[in-house]
Structure 1
Amino acid sequence: MEDLIRFLNHWWREGRVREVLAKEYKRRYFEELKDLLDKKQIVVICGLRRTGKSTLMFQLIQHLIEKGVPPANILYFSFDKEVAGIKQILESYSRMVEKDYERERIFVFLDEIFKLENWHEELKVLYDNLPQVKFVVSGSASLKVEKEARKNLVGRAFYVEVKPLLLREFFELKFNKRLENVKLWEDKLRLHFPSFLRKAFPEVVDWDDIRAREYIRELVLDKVIFSDFPTTFEDVNVDLLRTLVDIFFSNPGMYLNIDSLARDLRKSKNDLIFHIRLLEFGYLIRTVSNYRGSKLSASRKLRRVYPYHPSLAYGMFKEVEESKLVECWVRSHLDAQHYWREAGKEVDFVHEGMPVEVKYKEKISSEDIKNTVEFLKKFKVRKACVVSKDDEREIRVDNMTIRVMPAWRFALQSAF
C-alpha cells in the first residue's frame, strides 16, 4: 500500500500537483468547494462518473499548496486503485512522511470512497476524534450518500453534486476563452448546442462523435453497470440493468408501467423496482411524476423516465431524435421532478410551479402553446416558458406571459 500512496501523492516530492491532473480550467463547483475547505465538516463530492470530481480534488490540493500548506500535509487516496480502511491509510501515511495526523493539521482526500464498505461509519468516528483533520471525499453512486451517509453523517458533512457540463462550460473548454459577452458568440453557441447535448463531459468536448460515444458507453455506462453496481450491492442482475438502460435510453420520456414491463421482461415487480432504483442511484436515469398542484400531491402513478443526461442516451443510441435529446436535457438542466397530464392535455415539465414546454422547432404556433395555456388557467399561474429551436419572443394571453426561448439561450439562464 505504501508504494501506491507514494505514487498517488507525487506533490510530496515535486512540490505541486501535475498540470495534467490539476487542469487549468476550473468548473463552477471549484469556488464553492474551495470555500468549504475552511469549514470543519466533511465535504462529500458526488455525481456521475467522468464529470470531473477527481480533477476538482487535484485542483483543491494545488490551491492548498499555493496557500502555503506543506505538500506532505495533504494526503490523497483513490479507492478505484485499492480498497483499504481509512485508519489503515492514515497509519501508512503517518509512517511515510513522519506526520502525526492526531495532532497536526492534515487534509485528506479520499476518491471513490463509496467502494469502501461502511465508509461512513469509519469516517464518522475519525471526524469526531480528529478535529484537526479535514476530509474531502468523493463517489459516483448516490445510494450510499442518500441512504447511509446523510443518516450517519448528519451535521457532519456538506454535499456537492457535480453534474455534466453547462453550455457555458462546454463553450469555454472548447474555445479556451471565457464567455463574458454572449452577444458576440451567439452564432457559435447556436451552432455548437447540438454537440453540447451529446458531449457534455469535460474530456470529450473536442472529440469526434464516434470516439465520444465509445467513451461515454465504456467509461461511464459500462463502468457503472458492470463494475460499480456488482461490487457495491448484492443480487444485481447486470443483464437486466443493461436491458432497462436500452429501453429507457432509446425512448427518453417514456411512461413507466411497472406491471407491463415486468410481464414483458418476465421479472417480478420487486426485482424490477430494485433495479430501476439502482439506475437512479447511479445517476443513469431520473423519473418525473405527474403534478397535482403541489409536491405533496404529485401522483406516483404514470411516472416518466429520462436518461440522467442526453449525452448518456447518445452514447447508446446515436439515432435518438434531437428533439428528444433537448427534452431530456431540459429535464436535467432544471432537475425537474414533475410534468403535468390531465384529460389528454400535457406539459413536459413543471419547475417550481411554472410550466416549461419543449417544442424544438423553428416557429411556435398557437396550437403548440394550447396545453401550456390550459395549465396556466387551471393552476392560476401567470408565467410559462416554451423552449424552441430558434423562435424567441413573448406571447401574451389575457394577463399571462409565455416566454418563448431558443434552447441554447435557455441553457445560459440562471433563473426562469
Structure 2
Amino acid sequence: MNHDLLKRVIFDQHEIIRNAHIVPRRYTLDPEANYVITGLRRAGKSTLLYDMVRNLVSSGIAWERIIYINFEDERLVDFVSTDFQDIPLVQSELSDERGYYFFDEIQNIQHWERFARRLADAGERVHITGSNATMLSGQIASELGGRFFSLQVSPYRFDEYLDAKHQDHIGSALYTTREIGRIARHFDEFYRQGGFPESLRYTSQRAYVENVYQKVLLGDIAARYKVRNVNALRVLMKKVAETVRNEVSYSTLHNALKGIGFSISKDTLISYLEYAKEAYLLFSISNATAAFVEREGSPKYYYSDNGLLGLFLVNRETALLENEIAVALCDRFGEDLRYLKSSRTGIDVDFYLPEAGIAIQVAYSIAGEARAREVGNLVRLAKVDSSVTRFLIVTKEEEEVIDADGISIEVMPAWKFLLGECGS
C-alpha cells in the first residue's frame, strides 16, 4: 500500500474529526482499554471514536500519533489483508512516539482480527468499529484473545434525543406542565422518525433514513452475503415489518413470499433473516420458557430503529409504539427480554423480564375494550407467576394506577416510561 496515500487518508480524517459536531452519548469507555464497537450503520459508532480522539488531543497527544482509518474510504477500495503491515510503518514515519489506532468499518477486510490482535499484543492502543454482529462471534473473540472490550451502540434513546434537542428532562422538567408538553411533543417526533443521530440535521429525516436502509440492505446484507434474490430480500423485510407486535413463524413468512411469486427456499429465508439480524437491522425476542407456557413458540421481530420501521408502515401507530418500547427494553435488558404467550392459560403479555420480575403491556390507549384485555392478561399472569412483582401498561398518553384482583398495575405514557425505566 502506498504510504503517501495512507497518510492522506489519515490527515483528511483528522480534519473531519476536528470539525465534527459531537453530542455526548450515554456510553462510558475505559481509557485504558481497547474496544470493538459494533452496531447499526449510522448509529453513532464513529462519533464515539471522534470523541476519544479529541479527548486525547486535549490531553496533549499530538495529531501525528492519531492513526484513524475509515475502511469505507474509496481510496482504500483495493486494500487487502497484506496491506495491514504498512499501517504501523506509516505511524512510525509520522511520529517517534507510539500511536493510537482507530479503525472504522474494518470488517470489510479479511483477517482484520489477526492484525488487531498483533497490535494489541504489542501493547498498542486500538479501537475498532463495525456494522456486523459477527465481529463479536465466538471465533473472532478467540482470535482477539481477550485483548478487547466489546460495546454495542444503538441510535439515540429518548433521553439522548432530548439532549440533542436541548430539551431538559430531569428534575423539575418532569413536573412542569410546559416542559412536560414539550417532552411529549418531542416524543411524537421521536417515535415516528427514529433516533439516528445525523438525521436530526436534515429537513427530510425520512429521506436520510431511507438512505441508511438502502446502504444496510444492499451493502451490509446483499453484497456482503452475496444475496442472489435481492427483490425477495426487500419484500421479506416489508413482510417482517407488517408482523411487528405478533409472533411469526418461518413457514408463515415463506408462504407469504411464495404467495406473491418469490419461490425462495425456507432455508434461504431463514438465512436472510439472520443476515438482517447480523447487520443490526432486526432483532427478535422469544417466548419465555415457563412452567405455564407449553411451547417456546415463534419469535417476534422488531426493527432496531423506528425510523426504519416507519418506512414500511402507514397509520400503524400502535406498531411504532410497541417497536420503540421493544428497542429500549432490549437495549436496557438484553437477552433477559422475552414475551409470554400461552394458549393453555390465555396469557398474552407483550414483554416479560423474568430476572427483573416485570411484565409490560403496550397499548396506544386502554379506552374501551382494550382496558379489560390488557389488564386481564396481567392479572392472569400474576395468578400463575409469583416472581413477577411489577406490572405496567405503557400507552401513548394515559396515566393512572389500576387495582385489579389484588395487584397494582401502573399505566404510564411512553415518554415517561422511556425516561424512567429505560433512561440513562
TM-score range with shorter-chain normalisation?
A: 0.7 to 0.9
Match of 2:280 among 283, 287, 309: 283
Distance 2:408 2:389 in 1: 6
Match of 1:326 among 321, 324, 327: 321
Structure 2 counterpart of 1:9: 10
Matched, 1:113 2:119: no
Match of 1:180 among 156, 170, 185: 170
* SS in structure 2 of the partner of residue 324 of structure 1: helix
Structure 1 counterpart of 2:210: 217
Distance 1:366 1:225 in 2: 41
5 Å-filtered alignment, 1:205-354, equals 205=200, 207-208=202-203, 211-218=204-211, 220-235=212-227, 237-263=229-255, 264=258, 265-293=262-290, 299-314=295-310, 316-335=311-330, 337-343=337-343, 344-352=346-354, 353-354=357-358
Cα displacement (A) at 1:257 = 1.9
Distance 2:42 2:240 in 1: 21
- Unaligned ranges ≥5, structure 2: none
Q: One-letter code of the match for 2:194?
A: K
Distance 2:221 2:135 in 1: 11
Cα displacement (A) at 1:46 = 0.7
Cα displacement (A) at 1:158 = 0.7
User: Cα gap change, 1:80/1:28 in structure 2, threshold over 3 Å: closer, same or farther?
Assistant: same
Match of 2:365 among 339, 350, 361: 361
Structure 2 counterpart of 1:37: 31
Distance 1:13 1:138 in 2: 17
Distance 1:376 1:106 in 2: 57
Q: One-letter code of the match for 2:349?
A: V
Distance 1:27 1:179 in 2: 15
For residues 119-155 of structure 1, the C-alpha deviation after alignment (integer angstroms, 9 at most, x for no partner) is: 1122223322x11x10000011112322532232242
2:329/2:422 contact within 8 Å kept: no
Q: One-letter code of the match for 2:328?
A: H
Count residues with an aligned counterpart.
Answer: 394
* SS in structure 2 of the partner of residue 384 of structure 1: strand
TM-score by length of 1: 0.86
Structure 1 counterpart of 2:393: 386
5 Å-filtered alignment, 1:151-170, equals 151-170=142-161
User: Cα gap change, 1:65/1:358 in structure 2, threshold over 3 Å: closer, same or farther?
Assistant: same
Matched, 1:406 2:413: yes
2:117/2:143 contact within 8 Å kept: yes
Q: What percent identity do the matched residue pairs reach?
A: 26
CA RMSD of aligned residues (A): 2.6
Cα displacement (A) at 1:318 = 4.9
Distance 1:113 1:234 in 2: 19
2:132/2:279 contact within 8 Å kept: yes
User: Cα gap change, 1:196/1:227 in structure 2, threshold over 3 Å: closer, same or farther?
Assistant: same
Query: Which piece of structure 1 moves more, 298-307 or 197-206?
Result: 298-307
Structure 2 counterpart of 1:196: 190
For residues 190-249 of structure 1, the C-alpha deviation after alignment (integer angstroms, 9 at most, x for no partner) is: 1121211123111122544xx21121111x211111112244334554333212111112
For residues 326-350 of structure 1, the C-alpha deviation after alignment (integer angstroms, 9 at most, x for no partner) is: 1011111101641111124311111
Distance 2:189 2:273 in 1: 28
Structure 2 counterpart of 1:139: 130
Structure 2 counterpart of 1:25: 23
For residues 16-38 of structure 1, the C-alpha deviation after alignment (integer angstroms, 9 at most, x for no partner) is: 9423x2x2421112xx12xx222
1:354/1:384 contact within 8 Å kept: yes
User: Cα gap change, 1:254/1:413 in structure 2, threshold over 3 Å: closer, same or farther?
Assistant: same
Q: One-letter code of the match for 2:164?
A: L
Distance 2:230 2:361 in 1: 35
Cα displacement (A) at 1:411 = 1.0
Q: One-letter code of the match for 2:197?
A: P
Q: One-letter code of the match for 2:341?
A: R
Cα displacement (A) at 1:266 = 2.2
Distance 1:50 1:71 in 2: 25
User: Cα gap change, 1:154/1:194 in structure 2, threshold over 3 Å: closer, same or farther?
Assistant: farther
- Unaligned ranges ≥5, structure 1: none
Distance 1:7 1:178 in 2: 42
TM-score by length of 2: 0.85
1:199/1:205 contact within 8 Å kept: no
For residues 264-288 of structure 1, the C-alpha deviation after alignment (integer angstroms, 9 at most, x for no partner) is: 2422221111111001111111112
User: Cα gap change, 1:161/1:324 in structure 2, threshold over 3 Å: closer, same or farther?
Assistant: same
User: Cα gap change, 1:386/1:269 in structure 2, threshold over 3 Å: closer, same or farther?
Assistant: same
* SS in structure 2 of the partner of residue 63 of structure 1: helix
Cα displacement (A) at 1:172 = 1.8
Distance 1:407 1:12 in 2: 40
Q: One-letter code of the match for 1:145?
A: L
User: Cα gap change, 1:178/1:109 in structure 2, threshold over 3 Å: closer, same or farther?
Assistant: farther
Q: One-letter code of the match for 1:283?
A: Y
